[in-house]
Amino acid sequence: MGSKLNKLSDELGGRISSMENRLSGTFKPIKPRREFVSGIARRIQTIPRVAYVNGIENWHLIALLVAGLLTVTIFLTFLGRALLSLVEKEDTSRI
């Protein structure tokens, strides 16, 4: 029984190592073309990504600015209307 198992294990080991030999002869590291590698490297450096990323990162500031502008606009509208109604009141009191 033991010798049969040993024989089977040796046989499997032999089959695996013969396949390993074949595969190491088949797979060879391939060098990509130099123009291809440098072309992609150039494109990576030239894509305007920093501005986009920074823009996204500054969204807090942009939101604050928009909210501030809206507040100022609303305040000015109310102030304008108040002044207008004061002027109208003065005009009617003269009559």
Partner 1 sequence: MPEFEEQVILLRASQGDQEAYGLLYENYVERIYNYVYYRTGNVHDAEDLTARVFFRAMHHIKTYTDRGVPFSAWLYRIAHNLIANWHRDRSRHQEIPLSDAPTLHYKGEPPETAMEQNQEKDALLRLIRHLPAERQHLLILKFVEHMSNAEIGETMSRSEGAVKSLYHRTLLSLRDELEQLDPGE
Task: Kindly determine how many residues on this chain lie close enough to bind partner 1 according to the rule CB under 8 A.
Answer: 31
Binding status of residue 69 toward partner 1 by CB under 8 A: no
Burial class of 91 by CB neighbour count within 10 A (0 to 12, 13 to 18, 19+): exposed
Q: CA 57, CA 40: separation in Å to the nearest integer?
A: 26
Give the contact letters, 2-41, x = binds to partner 1 (CB under 8 A), - = no: ----------x--xx-xxx-xxxxxxxxxxxx--xx--xx
List contacts with partner 1 (CB under 8 A): 12, 15-16, 18-20, 22-33, 36-37, 40-41, 43-45, 47, 49-50, 53-54, 57
